[in-house]
Amino acid sequence: TTLGFGSNFIGGKYGKENGIYNIIDALKTNTNITKLDLSIAGIDDSFAVALANALKENTTITELKLGSN
């Protein structure tokens, strides 16, 4: 299953406004999503750290796209 947020500018200040951090938290226990597309999503350092921490606990995601951030 693919979860795509590419070209939606969900990172950084946008993520704080629309609750994307709740989705990142959910990735910690995800068992269905195998591909995550965050290309051109406006990811800033704090978003990247939150995502990295979630992915440390995730064993399901095998493909991650982060281009053009």
pLDDT at 17: 59
pLDDT at 15: 56
Contact 36, 66 (CB under 8 A): no
pLDDT at 10: 72
Report which of 40, 41, 30 is spatially closest to residue 1, judged by C-alpha positions. 30
| Other residues' Cβ atoms within 10 Å of the Cβ of residue 41 | 24
Residue 55, CB-side half-sphere exposure with 13 Å CA sphere = 13
pLDDT at 53: 94
> Percent of the chain beyond pLDDT 70?
87
Question: What residues are paired with 37 via a beta bridge?
Answer: 4, 65
Residues of the chain short of pLDDT 50, as ranges, are: none
